[in-house]
Structure 1
Amino acid sequence: MARVVIVGGGYGGLASAVRLAKLGHDVTLLEASETLGGALTSISEDGFTWDAGPDALLVPAVVRDLFRKSGRPLGPELGLEGDDGLVPLETVREHRFADRTVLRLPGGSRRDQVEAFEGLSPGLGEQWDEYVHDYEEVWDLLRRHYFEEPWQPDSLPKDVGRLLGSRDVLYKHLKRSFRDDRPATVAAHTFVADGHDLRNVPTWAGVVTYLEQCFGAWTLPGGLHGLRDLLAARLATRGVTVLVDTPVRDIEVRAGRAVAVSTTRGGEIPADVVVCAVDPRRMPALASYVERTMPAIPPVVTHLGLTGDVPDLPHETVLHGDPMLVIRPGGQAPDGCTAWTLHGRGRLAEDMLRVLARAKIDVRDNVVARIDRSPRELVTDWGGSPHGVLWQGRHTVRQRLGPRTPVEGVYAVGAHATPGAGLAYVGLGAALVAAEVGPA
């Protein structure tokens, strides 16, 4: 049995903790703030509750596997019959383009996506299908040698090495694939929304469009922040020691390997294994290994509590342009009210509600509650960016740590680690760490 100390109580830390505890290790989880969850949490005011961070996930099998491998399946944890407690979303998102055309992108169906693009313009369905289908082989290759198997950057299969080392970037790939800007805008959206420059994003990363088509988008009843509460309960079931309000100074390294974690309040906590589930730049013992990386900065966020008649929008609506706005209806609200969350990127020289009004979505007179959060506030509250490492070209994938690190006994998980940001990738990262550490 190894003494495992996990630094960080976000989704990556929680998922790693329950997996390693189920494998028989003595696990202690340290969280700097007073609550667990990181970005996977909620924010409330005046009877409204909003998802503070992500409100949907791809590849639902990752969450299902997490609960099955650490105890009871997700469905019974929610008091439901059957294993599954996740709810599929009919529409991944609605895209509203600058020319006033609209596309509702369905998930989990190749045929439905083709029909949606054909409705936008004849011929676009075939082009979109060809673009997405090209990623089928990419997904299969990366799934076997990167996403679901601990990878060694210096000993990759040749085909994986060629793929990850390719100089081709998503910006050029989209220009070659589409003459119409609209499908290119849809394919690029995830990266633009996360703050990346398409000229620095490798083409293979665009596999996310294939994941959306194959698996769709999913959430939990009441909001995705419910995962935090379920995992916190699983920590107790598995006997994990949880210390909140316990900032970590550094990982103590002696004779080349980790031996403890030093905290600001509890002194040193001995460890045979340390899992860094925060931005590794915050740990002096790891900072030098990631000094070439930069964080992807969160958007400007506004949570709205609305009353009266408001537009009936799908799970996510994107207003393309500069600025680009994302509307996410959802959360909990008093009777007769609605909860929305707005994300803004680009030239936000005026209030986002005025931008919405120009797009014929005027809810200014419906606002009864409002919380504005700047990117700096979000990073401060969460101790880092949930969007992980900023893409700066093909070398970025090798500059991230995880699941192993150059320090013996230290592993990395989370948005800043392999395989990257997003609940699906972070969940896969936790599985990789558990595979590397192994059973007690």
Structure 2
Amino acid sequence: MARIVVIGGGLGGMAAAARLAKLGHEVALLEASGQLGGALAPVERDGFVWDAGPASTLLPAALRDLFRKSGRPLEKELGAELEPLPIVREHRFADRTSIRLPGGSRADQHAAFEELGTGLGDKWVRHVDIYADVWTLLRQHYVEAPWDPYTKGAVPKELAALFAIRETLYKRLRHDFRDERLALVAGYPAVAEGHDLRNVPSWVGVHSYVEQIFGGWRVPGGMGRIAYLLGARLQTRGVTVRTGVEVLDLVVREGRVAAVRTAEGDAEADAVVVAVDPRRLPALAPYVERTMPAIPPVVAHLGLRGDVPELEHELVIHEEPMLTVRPGGIAPDGCTAWTVHGRGKIAEDLLDALARHKIDVREHVVTRVDLSPRDLVEQWRGSPMGVLWQGRGTVRNRLGPSTPITGVYAAGAHAAPGAGVPFVTQSAALVAQLIGPA
């Protein structure tokens, strides 16, 4: 039985701790804040509850596999099924046209884009189709199997060739779409995570394929329920959870991790899983000095009373600034809970910007929580958006699931295979594969 310390109590850390404890290891989880959950922990005020970070997920199999491999199935824990989203999001454009984007169906997406303009459906599905082989390659050699960029010849040639492609997503979208609206839809997932498409490799556009094939899914009661259930799962599996513990560094002896240094003393460890931004730990910082965090958006959580517009699960307004509205929070009777994200040049209040687009809820606000990107990064000790894309080399500059220090592993948004609920969840599975059973 190995003594394993997991640093960070967000989704990646909790998922890794649950899996490793189920494999028979002695696991301790250290979280700097006073609660578990990270970006999944909900925001609550005056009877309103909002998703702090993601409000839905792709690839629900990742969450289902986590719960099945660490205990009871997810749906049994929830007491309900995950809910498929008929419309993943609505996109509104500067010319006042819009598209309601379905997920999980090539034919439905084709029809939706044909309504936007004759021939646009063909152009859209042709673009998405190019990522079918990309997804197969990524799934087999990167998302579902640990990759090792530190050992010569360990990366499959096909994967190495994909990661060496110089083409950016910006260039790919400009090549495939003369209609700017299609490029905005395809580029949105990366832009929403804080990336400049000129610095994003074209293969990252695989998100559109995953969304089309698997669709979007919502957790009944909000994503915060996943954090709550995982916290309970850690207790069931006998994980020692310590909150309010700030990790200062790793203790490395002769090239191998020996302990985790905290303000309260050293915690000895045979292995360590780093599920926070590794730049925060001096022992790992030199290995990720070329990386930067992707900056979160400006966020306003709104508690609204009275009649407000009925919106889709997610509404994106593609103007300056880009606004994303998520109306799916929990609210008292007669009220509604919205979350608004803003990106770009924000020179006015987010609600004033919304009002310019004929969505005026300013007089309906009964409570409000405003959070800057800095607030979010400080609260979460890092960015849930993970590592900023700075060109094709970024994929090799971030850590995970292994690291150059023996006995140290990386999970979470800052590790491979990247940010987003399914990929962060999968990062824990990759670490568990490498460490193996006790």
> Could you list the per-position Cα deviations for residues 197-242 of structure 1 after superposition, in whole angstroms to 9, with x for gaps in the alignment?
1010000111000110011111111101110000000001100000
Match of residue 203 from structure 1: 202
> Could you list the per-position Cα deviations for residues 330-360 of structure 1 after superposition, in whole angstroms to 9, with x for gaps in the alignment?
1110101000000000111011111111101
Match of residue 116 from structure 2: 120
User: Partner of 1:53: helix, strand, or coil?
Assistant: coil
Between the aligned partners of 1:435 and 1:162, the Cα distance in structure 2 is 25
Bigger Cα displacement from structure 2, 39-48 vs 404-413: 39-48
Between the aligned partners of 1:75 and 1:52, the Cα distance in structure 2 is 22
Between the aligned partners of 1:79 and 1:382, the Cα distance in structure 2 is 29
Within a 5 Å distance, the mapping from 1:255-270 to structure 2 comes to 255-265=254-264, 267-270=265-268
Which of 121, 130, 142 in structure 1 is aligned with 2:126? 130
User: Partner of 2:400: helix, strand, or coil?
Assistant: coil
Match of residue 237 from structure 2: 238
Within a 5 Å distance, the mapping from 1:21-420 to structure 2 comes to 21-80=21-80, 85-153=81-149, 154=152, 155-265=154-264, 267-420=265-418
User: Partner of 2:353: helix, strand, or coil?
Assistant: helix
Between the aligned partners of 2:5 and 2:181, the Cα distance in structure 1 is 47
Between the aligned partners of 2:139 and 2:73, the Cα distance in structure 1 is 23
Deviation at 1:86? 1.4
Within a 5 Å distance, the mapping from 1:4-19 to structure 2 comes to 4-19=4-19
Between the aligned partners of 1:75 and 1:386, the Cα distance in structure 2 is 25
Match of residue 429 from structure 1: 427
Between the aligned partners of 1:211 and 1:32, the Cα distance in structure 2 is 34
Deviation at 1:158? 1.5
User: Partner of 2:40: helix, strand, or coil?
Assistant: coil
Between the aligned partners of 2:385 and 2:75, the Cα distance in structure 1 is 28
Amino acid of the structure 1 residue aligned with 2:169: L
Deviation at 1:321? 1.1
User: Partner of 1:94: helix, strand, or coil?
Assistant: strand
% of aligned pairs identical?
A: 64
Between the aligned partners of 2:236 and 2:187, the Cα distance in structure 1 is 41
Between the aligned partners of 2:277 and 2:417, the Cα distance in structure 1 is 14
> Could you list the per-position Cα deviations for residues 80-115 of structure 1 after superposition, in whole angstroms to 9, with x for gaps in the alignment?
4xxxx3111111110000100010000111110000
Q: How many residues align?
A: 435
Between the aligned partners of 1:163 and 1:425, the Cα distance in structure 2 is 18
Report the TM-score, using the length of structure 1 for normalisation.
Answer: 0.98
Amino acid of the structure 1 residue aligned with 2:72: R
Deviation at 1:135? 0.3
Between the aligned partners of 1:403 and 1:148, the Cα distance in structure 2 is 11
Between the aligned partners of 2:323 and 2:160, the Cα distance in structure 1 is 37
User: Partner of 2:414: helix, strand, or coil?
Assistant: coil
Amino acid of the structure 2 residue aligned with 1:378: L
CA RMSD of aligned residues (A): 0.7
Between the aligned partners of 1:285 and 1:156, the Cα distance in structure 2 is 25
Deviation at 1:381? 0.5
Between the aligned partners of 2:412 and 2:180, the Cα distance in structure 1 is 33
Bigger Cα displacement from structure 2, 410-419 vs 39-48: 39-48
Between the aligned partners of 2:144 and 2:207, the Cα distance in structure 1 is 16
Deviation at 1:79? 2.8
Amino acid of the structure 2 residue aligned with 1:339: A
Amino acid of the structure 2 residue aligned with 1:57: T
User: Partner of 1:293: helix, strand, or coil?
Assistant: coil
Amino acid of the structure 2 residue aligned with 1:22: K
Amino acid of the structure 2 residue aligned with 1:49: V
Between the aligned partners of 1:93 and 1:225, the Cα distance in structure 2 is 21
Between the aligned partners of 2:354 and 2:401, the Cα distance in structure 1 is 42
User: Partner of 1:39: helix, strand, or coil?
Assistant: helix
Deviation at 1:288? 0.3
Amino acid of the structure 2 residue aligned with 1:297: I
> Could you list the per-position Cα deviations for residues 163-212 of structure 1 after superposition, in whole angstroms to 9, with x for gaps in the alignment?
11110100000011001011110000011111101010000111000110
User: Partner of 2:39: helix, strand, or coil?
Assistant: coil
Between the aligned partners of 1:79 and 1:133, the Cα distance in structure 2 is 36
Unaligned runs of 5+ in 2: none
Amino acid of the structure 2 residue aligned with 1:374: S
User: Partner of 1:315: helix, strand, or coil?
Assistant: coil
Between the aligned partners of 2:112 and 2:123, the Cα distance in structure 1 is 12
Between the aligned partners of 2:351 and 2:33, the Cα distance in structure 1 is 32
Report the TM-score, using the length of structure 2 for normalisation.
Answer: 0.98
Between the aligned partners of 2:156 and 2:76, the Cα distance in structure 1 is 40
User: Partner of 1:227: helix, strand, or coil?
Assistant: helix
Deviation at 1:45? 1.1
Amino acid of the structure 1 residue aligned with 2:211: E
Between the aligned partners of 1:162 and 1:208, the Cα distance in structure 2 is 19
